[in-house]
């Protein structure tokens, strides 16, 4: 691994923090992105131990390694590109960049939550899967409309349970189902809502099960709504359309004589989506990448 040659520069504590982020397959892209930014600020702030130029090189390698561990997370590509383009060097540079990023992300997610709430009718049943901080915030925002939520567990990491607990704490009626049962709740639903790890002009990336859910929604005439900030929008060719195999022990602990497929993500054609809420605005998939005011897509 490229970061190993900088072992003396970052020290064992930061190295363990890097490995923890790389091995984190439960947290969402937003959490991982903020954690990586926090590490970048710490590395840039090592003072006499690292020159600004050396710290910049270490941070560039840090982003590259985290992207290799989480290649589907579009927000990481944005952060990596911006840090290199702006040629951030000092701790102050990284602190200012991190503060601006967090502020913009917060504003966009708040706007998306309000935009989503406006889409729903009173007493709507909403279907979702896994855990997305954007979706969680939007569902809480829509709570006063007396919505009901159905969420699947999202095996093997069971992130859906976390969302169910959060919604229950906010007094929103929620039903947790096993992944295979989610389709039973699609007929008659008001909307399917999904967060995303990345959006390209052709497809979006989200947790496994999203493709089947979107196909069922199309079959039963239920609108599919995506929530995304502009940081997850990627031009063609930026993200490779490939799956990553994860440990089979997450599915079955003991070795088995048969093949176990443990992939986390789906690549879902954008044509299966009805609306995309981005930066507080509601767009069609065609409009999303034509709306240049969102930001310049890399």
Among 92, 88, 148, 112, smallest CA distance to 30 is for 112
Residues 143 and 254 in one domain: yes
Residues 155 and 231 in one domain: yes
The answer to whether the CB of 225 falls within 8 A of the CB of 276 is yes
Q: Report the pLDDT value the prediction gives residue 115, as an integer from 0 to 100.
A: 96
CATH number for the domain spanning 16: value is 1.20.120
- Answer yes or no: is 296 within a domain: no
Q: Which of 82, 106, 130 finishes a domain?
A: 106
Distance (Å, whole) CA 187 – CA 199: 26
- Answer yes or no: is 297 within a domain: no
99-119 b/e (C-beta count within 10 Å ≥ 16 → b):
eebeeebeebbebbbebbbeb
Q: Report the pLDDT value the prediction gives residue 135, as an integer from 0 to 100.
A: 97
Distance (Å, whole) CA 32 – CA 23: 10
DSSP class of residue 223? P
Residues 161 and 262 in one domain: yes
Residues 26 and 172 in one domain: no
Q: Which of 106, 121, 138 finishes a domain?
A: 106
How large is the greatest C-alpha to C-alpha distance in the chain, in angstroms?
Answer: 63
125-164 tens-digit pLDDT:
999 999 999 999 999 999 999 999 999 999 999 999 999 9
Strands 275-278, 281-283: pairing kind: antiparallel
- Answer yes or no: is 112 within a domain: yes
182-203 tens-digit pLDDT:
999 999 999 999 999 999 999 9
98-122 tens-digit pLDDT:
999 999 999 999 999 999 999 999 9
Strands 203-207, 198-199: pairing kind: antiparallel
Confidence of residue 49 (pLDDT cuts 50, 70, 90): low
Q: What is the pTM of this model?
A: 0.91
Containing structural domain, residue 153: 108-288
Residues 116 and 211 in one domain: yes
Residues 88 and 168 in one domain: no
Distance (Å, whole) CA 57 – CA 202: 33
Q: Which of 106, 137, 170 finishes a domain?
A: 106
* Domains: count for the chain: 2
Residues 125 and 40 in one domain: no
Q: What is the DSSP string of 139-190?
A: HHHHGGG--EEEEE--TTTTHHHHHHHHHHHTT--EEEE-GGGGGGG-TT-S
Among 183, 204, 173, 175, smallest CA distance to 275 is for 204
**Least confident among 8-12, 90-94, 280-284:** 8-12
203-217 tens-digit pLDDT:
999 999 999 999 999
Q: Report the pLDDT value the prediction gives residue 6, as an integer from 0 to 100.
A: 67
């Amino acid at each position: 691994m490229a970061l190993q040659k900088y072992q003396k520069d970052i020290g064992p504590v930061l190295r363990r923090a890097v490995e923890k982020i790389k091995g984190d397959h439960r947290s969402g892209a937003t959490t991982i992105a903020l954690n990586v930014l926090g590490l970048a600020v710490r590395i840039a702030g090592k003072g006499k131990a690292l020159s600004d130029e050396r710290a910049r090189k270490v941070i560039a390698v840090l982003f590259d390694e985290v992207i290799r561990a989480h290649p589907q997370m579009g927000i990481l590509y944005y952060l990596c590109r911006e840090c290199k383009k702006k040629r951030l060097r000092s701790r102050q540079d990284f602190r200012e960049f991190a503060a601006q990023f967090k502020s913009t992300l917060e504003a966009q997610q708040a706007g998306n939550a309000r935009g989503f709430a406006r889409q729903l009718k009173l007493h709507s049943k909403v279907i979702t899967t896994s855990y997305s901080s954007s979706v969680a915030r939007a569902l809480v925002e829509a709570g006063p409309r007396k919505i009901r939520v159905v969420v699947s567990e999202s095996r093997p990491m069971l992130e859906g349970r976390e969302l169910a607990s959060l919604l229950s704490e906010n007094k929103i009626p929620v039903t947790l189902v096993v992944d295979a049962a989610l389709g039973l709740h699609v007929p008659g639903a008001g909307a399917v809502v999904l967060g995303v790890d990345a959006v390209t002009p052709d497809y979006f990336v989200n947790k496994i099960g999203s493709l089947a859910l979107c196909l069922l929604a199309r079959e039963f005439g239920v609108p599919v709504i995506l929530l995304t900030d502009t940081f997850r929008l990627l031009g063609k060719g930026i993200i490779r359309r490939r799956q990553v195999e994860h440990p089979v022990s997450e599915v079955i602990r003991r070795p088995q004589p048969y093949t176990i497929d443990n992939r986390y993500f789906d690549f879902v054609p954008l044509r299966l989506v009805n609306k995309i809420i981005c930066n507080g605005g509601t767009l069609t998939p065609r409009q999303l990448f034509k709306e240049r005011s969102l930001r310049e897509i890399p």
